[in-house]
Every structure is written in structure tokens, then in C-alpha cells.
Amino acid sequence: MIEVKNLVKRYGNHTAVDNLSFTVDKGQVLGFLGPNGAGKSTTMNIITGYISATGGTVTVNGVDVYEEPEEVKKMIGYLPEFPPLYPDMTVTEYLNFVADIKKVNKAGKKQMIADIMESTRITPVSNRLIKHLSKGYKQRVGLAQAIMGYPELIILDEPTVGLDPKQIIEIRELIKELSKNHTVILSSHIMQEVSAVCDTVMIIDKGKLVLNERPIDLSTNLGNTGGMKLCVKGDRNIILDALERIERITNIVEHEPTTEGIMNLTVNCDENEDIREEVFYAMCDAKAPILEMQSIHLSLEDIFLKVTAGDGIGDLNLDGFQDKKEVSEAIDENHAEDVQNKSEENLVEEEDNSNAGDL
């Protein structure tokens, strides 16, 4: 449905989007993930035709955004970072106006507005002025605006910002509901959100694609650390002695005990090894009962940090990436660039901020 090829966007010397390519199939929910200033909003703005790319192409349903922007805009509903609302209008007036500019059929307009207000739960505030609404309601009016006319493609830039937890769940439900009939792209820097609603996750950092995977694969492929947390009852020396005899354990970290006579430990081994059984029997022989045992899996959050950490890449254990050649390449590239640009980095970031204001 959407095909993005070698997308580049430069602001002066600063590259906001750097050779980004991906495709989104019909009915898919794609999550854009990245730290602030990673180029998420810029990419979305380019897809919606709000700004142009420096290089590369974007096609939606085979129509090029650059060649026929108006055709593409008909197929897209867009909720930008700041919901574009007119504070002096009531919600109904506003949605009416949006329906008009999106050329919604006159006959079905009233019904559609009512339906959309119902599904975004803004019917109770339909006659209030937008400037009197709370942030959460404003966000939902913005969302209602994006789905007006039921476009094939819905692009949401951080749709749940400013909502309370209950509303966040409601909006996620709504997005799931929408994804049945629409293709959805959403951006976020909240991991749970992306893993809750998206089929595919794309992690972008400094305008580059770092990872493109299903959320489940992410945590199984990258989440393994080989470590585990242990809670063992017994004598300290005996336990440590028993553990040290297991050869595959690479290091043991002892934590402050919370209860007298119970040891809290973190045990590490190689990422691909499984030492749980061995540890169990060792403790068994030492007559030191294991009270708790928990494998340490990186949460999506940690993976996110791990993948996007600029300076931390050197410490990153790249073994896990070996089977994904392109990924490690992307990271290496990033890394090389980091080293080169380290001195310029601050300067560029400042420029980035000033540019972000312009968007």
C-alpha cells in the first residue's frame, strides 16, 4: 500500500531522514518508534505531502506523493503532533468543516460525523468550544479529524500523548478497531503502546532505520540476555561455591539481601545458553532451596534503548545481531558516523531543535 524508497530529508547540513526505505501492506498497523528528533514526524509529514523530501520517493497505492499530492491526500487521514484545531469552533462545527474540506459526500456527512464522534467518545462535548476542552478531549477531536471520511490510510503522530491511562486504553482499542478496515501508521516513543497495537515495529534513530520487526520477534530475538535472578535460602559460602562450580556461568553478582539468610543473586552466562536446570540441581545438591528464579529478558524498552543508544553502541553485545546482517550493518554505519561526528554532534542537534520548531 505504501512504498517508501530511499527517503532523504535534509535541513541545511542536518539530515533528518537518511535513506529510509520500507513498505506497509494493506491492513497493517505499523509503529514508528524512536527517540525525539529521530525523524518520525518528518517522515510522516513527507508521506502526507506536508513537506517534500530532498530525495527518494513515496507512493501510496501506486500514486506518487510528489507527482499527484492531491490524489494522495484524499487517501490519507493525518493527526499531526499538535492536533490542528480551531479553538473558536465547537466540536461539531469543526468536524463539519473537516468533512467539507475532505470532500465527504453531503448525504452521508451527518451520519458519519455522529459515528465518528461516538467512536472517539466526544459526543458529550460536541457543542462545546474546542478551546474549553481538556488536552485529552482535544487529542480525541484531533483523532476524529484524522479518521473523517474514513481514508484508507490513517497516520497518527503520537496519538496518545496527554491522555490518562483509561483514555489511552480506549484510544488503543479504537486504533485496533480501525486497523480492521484501514492501514494505520502511528508513531510513539512509548514501547508498550507500540507492542500493544502494532503488527510491525520500525525503530528509527537519527533518520535511519535501525530495526523492522514484529514486536514478538523483537523480544525473543533481541531480548535474550542469558542472565537470571535468583533468590536462594542457605549459607552464603556454600551457595557461591556451588555456583562457581558451574563452568558456563560467566559472572555472579551478589545483591543486598532483603531477608536474613536469603541471598539475592544475578547470574550471567552466554546469551544462547540455558543454565536453569544446572543451577537447580547445583542448589539441590547444596541443600539450598531456590525460592525464586527468573530469567532476565530485555523488555522492549531495553531493546529500544539498546538499539538507539548513540554512545552506548560500543558496549552493545552484537552477537545477537549476527543473523541479521543488515541490522548490524546499520548499527555499524551509525557507529562510524557517531565517531566522526562526535564533535559536531551538539551543533547539529541544536540545529535540529530549531528546525523542529518550523515543522
Partner 1 sequence: MLAIYKKELRSYFTSMLGYVFIAFFLIIIGINFFYENLVNGYANFEYTITNVTFIFVLLVPILTMRLMAEENKQKTDQLLLTSPLSAGAIVVGKFLAVFTIFFLVVAVTLTYPLILKQFGNVPMPGAYASLLGFSMLGGAYLAIGLFISSLTESQMVAAVITFFTFLFTAFMDGIANVIPSNNKTAFIFFSVILIIICLILYFMMHNLIISVTIGLIGEIGLAVIYYVKPTLFDGLIIKVFNWISVISRFDSFQYSILDLSSIVYYISIIVLFLFLTIQVLKKKRWS
The distance of closest approach from Cβ of residue 184 to partner 1 in the complex, given in angstroms and rounded to an integer, is 16
Quickly list DSSP for 22-72: EEE-TT-EEEEE--TTSSHHHHHHHHTTSS--SEEEEEETTEETTT-HHHH
C-alpha 122/C-alpha 141 separation (Å) is: 7
144 neighbors 78 (Cβ within 8 angstroms): no
The distance of closest approach from Cβ of residue 151 to partner 1 in the complex, given in angstroms and rounded to an integer, is 10
Q: Find where cell 486504553 sits.
A: 169
User: What SS3 class is residue 298?
Assistant: coil
Binding site for partner 1 (CB under 8 A): 12, 48-52, 70, 73-74, 76, 78, 80, 82, 84-89, 93, 97-98, 100-103, 145, 358
Phi, psi of 72 (to 5 degrees): -70, -40
The distance of closest approach from Cβ of residue 294 to partner 1 in the complex, given in angstroms and rounded to an integer, is 46
Nearer Cβ to partner 1 (86/281): 86
Rg (CA), the chain: 25
The distance of closest approach from Cβ of residue 84 to partner 1 in the complex, given in angstroms and rounded to an integer, is 4
The distance of closest approach from Cβ of residue 354 to partner 1 in the complex, given in angstroms and rounded to an integer, is 12
10 neighbors 179 (Cβ within 8 angstroms): no
Nearer Cβ to partner 1 (81/115): 81
Q: Could you report how far apart the first and last alpha carbons of the chain are, in Å?
A: 26
* Three cell numbers written together for 327: 541490522
The distance of closest approach from Cβ of residue 58 to partner 1 in the complex, given in angstroms and rounded to an integer, is 13
Nearer Cβ to partner 1 (84/289): 84
Q: What are 11's strand-pairing partners?
A: 14
Nearer Cβ to partner 1 (48/268): 48
Q: How buried is residue 267: exposed, middle or buried, by Cβ count under 10 Å (0-12/13-18/19+)?
A: buried
C-alpha 313/C-alpha 337 separation (Å) is: 12
Nearer Cβ to partner 1 (11/196): 11
Residue 2 carries which DSSP code? Answer: E
Nearer Cβ to partner 1 (152/338): 152
Nearer Cβ to partner 1 (40/172): 40
The distance of closest approach from Cβ of residue 138 to partner 1 in the complex, given in angstroms and rounded to an integer, is 12
